[in-house]
Structure 1
Amino acid sequence: MTSMNTITYRPARDELAYTFSGRMPVAHVRAGDVLQVYTEDCFGGRVRGPGDLPSQVCQMPYLNPVSGPFFVEGAEPGDTLAVHIMSIEPARQWGVSATFPHFGALTSTSHTATLQPPLQERVWVYSIDRQAGTVGFQATETDHQVDLPLAPMIGTIGVAPAAFEARATIVPDTHGGNLDTPLLQAGTTLYLGVNVHGALLALGDGHARQGDGEACGAGVEIATVTTLTVEVIKRVTMQWPRLETDTTIASVGCARPLEDAYRVAHTDLVAWASELTGMDTLDAYQLISQAGRAPVGNVCDPNYTVLATVDTAALPRCTPAYGGVHDRLRRHGIHPGSEGIHPDGEGISR
């Protein structure tokens, strides 16, 4: 791995991106660099209190912004980009969530039309206590409140799609995008197939926490300072995103209906487990059937997201994935905090 440089980037409001592809890169990153990025929340910071209804303060389609893209030197189509998330720090002491009239898992939408009235639009404000490690829920119609564990994650991260496409940031697919899985947390390595010269990595849509499925269509939405590092795995192709932690591997499937996303994820995980262990495909299928898990990422976006995961301890003679890149990136230097970006600062430095 090359010597470490630290790059910090905070976009001005007009530099936020709303598609993967279609924009010039904001910075060049090399393998071994540490990239420290300010990301806005899915509302662009415009929803700050109960009176800030998204339909009134936000403008479609300017939702779910990402920071970037970042040109990764040496990344070419047919390679795989390994992105290791080193830390995710809330950039504010609050986060927000909402219900929407025609968005979410438990309401009618344009694609699941029903005669019932739309849900009421409502905003919840959550307090964030980084020292205590809690996210405070307060009901809007009663005095019920509870502290939930702070579990920061990145909801949207990906590279430029193939075939000259530009995809809206709300869409999850083979390029990554709005995956909305809580597994995209500090300590996780994400693997993405490279489709264009330089990969063009972008990320945003931080959540202080989110339940599996993101049922209402929003997590506890926050701005973040996210720190990551990358490595290019040459001449290794990948169709769907994959994730690795110290104890788990996971494959990601994005599709509608939900069962197709489930099938995509599990087909990929069976193949990956077979490759890492040398097991026969049906043996791997049987083992995943009994030892695997299937957490749902989201059930409200244009594509749904399902993960297929298995603990590596359950895989016999499991060789390190991609030559041990996850362990190499995890050990790469001391994980920095968010001191490189001031909440009121902007721009890029190296």
Structure 2
Amino acid sequence: MSEPRMITVRPEPGDYAWTFGGAAPYARITPGTVLDVFTEDCFGGRVRSEKDLVSQVCEFPYLNPQTGPFYVEGAEPGDTVAVHFVSIEPARDWAASTTVPLFGALTSTSTTASLQAPLPETVWIWQLDRARRTATFQAKDSDLRLALPMDPMHGTVGVAPAHLEVRSALAPDAHGGNMDTPEMRAGVTCYLGVNVEGALLSLGDGHARQGEGETCGVAVECAMNTVIIVELLKGVSTPWPRLESDTHLISTGSARPLEDAFRISQLDLVQWLVRDYGFSELDAYQFLTQAVESPVANVCDTNYTCIAKIRKEWLPDRETHRGLHARLRDVAATLPKPGVPSI
């Protein structure tokens, strides 16, 4: 097997995309390419202290900058792009989180209107110890100082939507986008259905960690240095973003209300088992009802995202997605450290 092509991508401030669809390709890549990419945090790096309020230092809708899009040679509608996350590492020793007026799961919002006053805009700066792998919370209203383990992930990865749509990088849907699931961590392969020629893959929104649900709407937001392998599955359709780890198959669903996001993720996992694991539809429905895990990804975005996951050890020994996850994991284990010429 020939050594995969490796490209380092360090965007300039004007290079980021703010939407899925509607943005010209940042670069063209061939399947099998390894990308060593820098992604800026969701605030564009502008929230650096507790005095930097989002409403003052950021300009809506220019939030959630994406690195990309990358035109994948040979990708056509009906295919699937696979993104294997080799490593996801914070690029700085700090991260930011905040409350945002009229945003989040436990406050009035523009779509859940009430007489309740908006929450105050407050910023927390989390200190990251990249050697010890911790993220430290400093309380605003007491001397509490608590360290949590880092669990780096990408809140956003996706391709251009179908039907000529252009979607904000703040929105999750069938194209991927801002799903905000902690499952999107190193060692995982994400499968995305191709809607347009070249797929137009982008990623961003790094989180040093995030609880399930992203309750206040903002995780421990940080810039990332991330290494991914991008592959192409010809003739394999993926209606909703799917993830595969060494231990689980994982389906996603994004919609409002929350129960519709739940239904989409559960149905997609049922259909996955029917397609690749020999179940009938009703048998898959019964089996998953007793075996599925259903964490919530986010309950704050323009669409909510739910997860349905099943342990692979409980399934028949069958191949899914042509065994690509295992092959990409093996390639990842052989990769040299990043440091190749930039584009």
Superposition TM-score tier, normalisation by shorter sequence: over 0.9
Alpha-carbon distance between aligned partners in 2 of 1:245 and 1:78, rounded to the nearest angstrom: 23
Are 1:132 and 2:132 counterparts? Answer: yes
Alpha-carbon distance between aligned partners in 2 of 1:125 and 1:236, rounded to the nearest angstrom: 43
Q: Is this contact kept in 2: 1:75–1:199, CA < 8 A?
A: yes
1:100, CA displacement in angstroms?
1.0
Q: How does 1:35-50 map to 2 (within 5 A)?
A: 35-50=35-50
Q: Secondary structure at the match of 1:332?
A: helix
Which residue of structure 1 lines up, in the alignment, with residue 342 of structure 2? Answer: 348
Q: How does 1:212-251 map to 2 (within 5 A)?
A: 212-251=212-251
Are 1:151 and 2:151 counterparts? Answer: yes
1:49, CA displacement in angstroms?
0.6
Q: Is this contact kept in 2: 1:106–1:216, CA < 8 A?
A: yes
Which residue of structure 2 lines up, in the alignment, with residue 332 of structure 1? Answer: 331
Alpha-carbon distance between aligned partners in 1 of 2:196 and 2:280, rounded to the nearest angstrom: 34
1:336, CA displacement in angstroms?
5.1
Which residue of structure 1 lines up, in the alignment, with residue 266 of structure 2? Answer: 266
Alpha-carbon distance between aligned partners in 2 of 1:176 and 1:278, rounded to the nearest angstrom: 27
Give the letter aligned to residue 327 of structure 2.
R
RMSD: 1.4
Give the letter aligned to residue 328 of structure 2.
L
1:340, CA displacement in angstroms?
2.7
1:275, CA displacement in angstroms?
2.4
Q: Is this contact kept in 1: 2:78–2:237, CA < 8 A?
A: yes
Alpha-carbon distance between aligned partners in 2 of 1:50 and 1:285, rounded to the nearest angstrom: 48
Alpha-carbon distance between aligned partners in 2 of 1:217 and 1:337, rounded to the nearest angstrom: 36
Which residue of structure 2 lines up, in the alignment, with residue 19 of structure 1? Answer: 19
Give the letter aligned to residue 161 of structure 2.
P
Which residue of structure 1 lines up, in the alignment, with residue 168 of structure 2? Answer: 168
1:177, CA displacement in angstroms?
0.1
Give the letter aligned to residue 279 of structure 2.
M
Alpha-carbon distance between aligned partners in 2 of 1:26 and 1:123, rounded to the nearest angstrom: 32
Q: Is this contact kept in 2: 1:85–1:189, CA < 8 A?
A: yes
1:22, CA displacement in angstroms?
1.3
Q: Is this contact kept in 2: 1:3–1:33, CA < 8 A?
A: no
Give the letter aligned to residue 348 of structure 1.
S
Are 1:113 and 2:107 counterparts? Answer: no
Q: Secondary structure at the match of 2:148?
A: strand
Q: Is this contact kept in 1: 2:8–2:338, CA < 8 A?
A: no
Give the letter aligned to residue 324 of structure 2.
V
Which residue of structure 2 lines up, in the alignment, with residue 207 of structure 1? Answer: 207
* 1:335–1:36 distance in 2 versus 1, CA, 3 Å: farther
| Identity of matched residues, % | 55
Which residue of structure 1 lines up, in the alignment, with residue 182 of structure 2? Answer: 182
Alpha-carbon distance between aligned partners in 2 of 1:283 and 1:153, rounded to the nearest angstrom: 33
1:44, CA displacement in angstroms?
0.2
Alpha-carbon distance between aligned partners in 1 of 2:276 and 2:149, rounded to the nearest angstrom: 34
Alpha-carbon distance between aligned partners in 2 of 1:10 and 1:286, rounded to the nearest angstrom: 47
CA displacement, residues 57-86 of structure 1 (integer Å, 9 cap, x when unaligned): 000111011010011111111101111010
Which residue of structure 1 lines up, in the alignment, with residue 308 of structure 2? Answer: 308
1:280, CA displacement in angstroms?
2.1
Which residue of structure 1 lines up, in the alignment, with residue 71 of structure 2? Answer: 71
> Stretches of 4+ moved more than 4 A in 1?
335-339
Which residue of structure 1 lines up, in the alignment, with residue 10 of structure 2? Answer: 10
Q: Secondary structure at the match of 2:71?
A: strand
Alpha-carbon distance between aligned partners in 2 of 1:171 and 1:328, rounded to the nearest angstrom: 31
Which residue of structure 1 lines up, in the alignment, with residue 322 of structure 2? Answer: 323
* 1:245–1:348 distance in 2 versus 1, CA, 3 Å: same
TM-score (normalised: structure 1): 0.95
Q: Is this contact kept in 2: 1:86–1:336, CA < 8 A?
A: no
CA displacement, residues 189-242 of structure 1 (integer Å, 9 cap, x when unaligned): 000000111111000000000000000001000000111001111111121111
Q: Is this contact kept in 2: 1:49–1:123, CA < 8 A?
A: yes
* 1:337–1:171 distance in 2 versus 1, CA, 3 Å: farther
Alpha-carbon distance between aligned partners in 2 of 1:339 and 1:122, rounded to the nearest angstrom: 37
Q: Secondary structure at the match of 1:56?
A: helix
1:348, CA displacement in angstroms?
3.0
Alpha-carbon distance between aligned partners in 1 of 2:241 and 2:198, rounded to the nearest angstrom: 17
Q: Which runs of 5+ in 2 are unaligned?
A: none
* 1:96–1:165 distance in 2 versus 1, CA, 3 Å: same
1:33, CA displacement in angstroms?
1.4
Alpha-carbon distance between aligned partners in 1 of 2:139 and 2:61, rounded to the nearest angstrom: 29
Range 51-60 or range 269-278, more displaced: 269-278
Give the letter aligned to residue 232 of structure 2.
V
Q: Is this contact kept in 2: 1:89–1:337, CA < 8 A?
A: no
Q: Is this contact kept in 1: 2:36–2:338, CA < 8 A?
A: no
Q: Which runs of 5+ in 1 are unaligned?
A: 342-346
1:286, CA displacement in angstroms?
1.4
CA displacement, residues 77-134 of structure 1 (integer Å, 9 cap, x when unaligned): 1101111010001000000100011000000011100111110100000011111010
Q: Secondary structure at the match of 2:333?
A: coil
Alpha-carbon distance between aligned partners in 1 of 2:230 and 2:42, rounded to the nearest angstrom: 24
* 1:262–1:111 distance in 2 versus 1, CA, 3 Å: same
1:333, CA displacement in angstroms?
4.4
